[in-house]
A = this chain, B = another copy of it.
């Protein structure tokens, strides 16, 4: 599966795998794809350096990338405490009521506080990048908005391509103007932050909007047939995130969550603002239902919501409170029905792709 972009990056298959787990990212790269490690969960730059060291040792000199969350808009001098102070008491009480209803215990005395989505803060993302530029990464992806111009310049100075996610042709044009190299067209059916336009329509619209920049199709892709469809729509590669969540290498650390993912159908996700304040597709749970209930206070805007729910999500995850337990995941969750190694998933992807090409050639009368 070779496109101009996969040749440029030196990978065998134009399959980009996004994951928060170094072991998964490295396995994707070793399998002939392009592993992209999500950096948003690294609050400490040292932790990121440790995991990038590990990636270097486990990727056999093959290329991989890093995904950060760096908003183009700066908020000068605003600290996490300033943001915390903006959260209404009503919302804090709603969090506690919802947890109490399901008997979720507090975190043990002295436990680390909940993981905060602090990657949105530019200073955190910049400290991550200071680390990342010391490693031979080949791609820097930005998950929200266009990256700032000086970061694009620094990446280019290091010979690193810059990618950015877009949910509409307008966002994609903005990325092109910001000097980025690759647009990831993230459709409605994708896990995580998404817009309302489905991959089938979004991909060709973005291809036209940013021509001649290469576009990756994201959202709804978890089989070789779906890869063939994404590439038929004009993409130079595909971007897969959800499918790795149930691999053997994924470090979810929650058997109950893995079971929920394996059991879920295609209609068991919801696009909700419950997680970050912006619409993000995730498993539908009693937690998302509570936030989406018109009778409740509703989610706060980003970044308030992420800070508000950080400790609560840690508690739900630690105690695996089944009805509330969720994760960002796309509509392909209905196709994720067993636990396999990353290599086994990759083999299925390439075999399914070849089957789809055979079939469509028969339909086109090319055999």
Residues of A that sit less than 8 Å from B by CB: 1-3, 14, 168-169, 187-189, 195-202, 204-205, 219-221, 223, 225-226, 228-234, 265-267, 294, 330-332, 334-335, 353-354, 356-357, 359-361, 363-366
Q: A189-B200, A204-B223, A229-B230 are in contact. List 18 more A-B contacts (CB 8 A).
A: A1-B363, A3-B363, A168-B267, A169-B266, A187-B198, A187-B200, A189-B197, A195-B267, A196-B267, A197-B267, A198-B200, A200-B220, A201-B226, A201-B331, A232-B359, A232-B360, A357-B366, A360-B360
- Nearest residue (CB) in B for A357 is B364
From B196, B198, B232, B265, A199 is in contact (CB under 8 Å) with B198
Chain B nearest CB from A315 CB (Å) reads 30
**A-B contacts, 8 listed (Cβ < 8 Å):** A169-B334, A200-B220, A200-B221, A200-B226, A201-B220, A201-B330, A205-B334, A353-B364
Chain B contacts for A196, CB-based, 8 A: 267
Q: Are A331 and B364 in contact (CB under 8 A)?
A: no
Known: A266-B202, A331-B197. A360 touches B187 (CB 8 A): no
- Nearest residue (CB) in B for A269 is B196
Chain B contacts for A266, CB-based, 8 A: 168-169, 197, 201-202, 205
Known: A228-B360, A232-B225. A198 touches B189 (CB 8 A): yes
- Nearest residue (CB) in B for A270 is B196
Chain B nearest CB from A165 CB (Å) reads 16
Q: Are A201 and B189 in contact (CB under 8 A)?
A: yes
Chain B contacts for A364, CB-based, 8 A: 1, 353-354, 357
CA distance A14 to B359 in the complex (A): 14
From B3, B189, B204, A226 is in contact (CB under 8 Å) with B204
Chain B contacts for A360, CB-based, 8 A: 228, 231-232, 357, 360
- Nearest residue (CB) in B for A204 is B225
Chain B contacts for A200, CB-based, 8 A: 187, 189, 198-200, 219-221, 226, 229-230
CA distance A331 to B177 in the complex (A): 25
CA distance A166 to B234 in the complex (A): 27
- Nearest residue (CB) in B for A227 is B232
Known: A198-B219, A204-B226. A231 touches B334 (CB 8 A): no
Chain B nearest CB from A90 CB (Å) reads 19
CA distance A337 to B188 in the complex (A): 23
Q: Are A234 and B228 in contact (CB under 8 A)?
A: no
CA distance A363 to B227 in the complex (A): 11
Chain B contacts for A229, CB-based, 8 A: 200, 228-230, 232-233
Chain B contacts for A332, CB-based, 8 A: 201
Chain B nearest CB from A99 CB (Å) reads 27
